[in-house]
Structure 1
Amino acid sequence: MTKAEIFDKIADIIADRFEVDRDAINDQLNFKQDLDADSIDFVEFVLELEDTFSAEISDEDAEKLNTIGEVVDYINAHQPGDK
């Protein structure tokens, strides 16, 4: 899956979960600052990412993900079968 495809899927999740205009979502969008996501929102988002991308994101790694771009890069680097 390309980074663009990953971004599109993540943007769709964010638009739905956080009720954000899909066109307003970009790589620099910050979960806490721009989406006002609390820890529960973020945990639920990470769980949805794990389901969507068949990936496991450790709590330690999840804590380092602040922007959409960071999430896209993380998912891209941890795709199943890309070892």
Structure 2
Amino acid sequence: MTREDIILKLQSYLEELFEVDPADATLDASLYEDLDMDSIDAVDLVIKLQELTGKKIAPEDFKSVRTVGDVVDQVEALVSQ
């Protein structure tokens, strides 16, 4: 899975789950400020990402995630393991 694939899938999830316009889900967009997500939304997103990667995502791996780019980086790291 390429970085571009991850970005497109993430934008799709954000649109499907949280009604975020894919154009707003830029790499530097803040999940909490720009996209109006909260901690419950973050849990829902992690569940979808676990389905995508087929790997368990530890909550501490996502504690430092603040932007869409951070999510992409974490998913990319998981996929490459």
TM-score (norm 2): 0.89
Counterparts of 1:1-83 in structure 2, within 5 Å, are 1-79=1-79, 82-83=80-81
Q: Which has the higher helix share?
A: 2
For 1:48 and 1:34, the matched residues in 2 are separated by: 20
Tell me the secondary structure at the aligned position of residue 26 of structure 2.
coil
For 2:30 and 2:37, the matched residues in 1 are separated by: 9
Q: Which runs of 5+ in 1 are unaligned?
A: none
CA RMSD, Structure 1 to Structure 2 (Å): 1.2
TM-score (norm 1): 0.87
Identity of aligned residues (%): 33
The alignment covers a number of residue pairs equal to 81
Report how far residue 66 of structure 1 moved.
1.1
Report how far residue 55 of structure 1 moved.
2.3
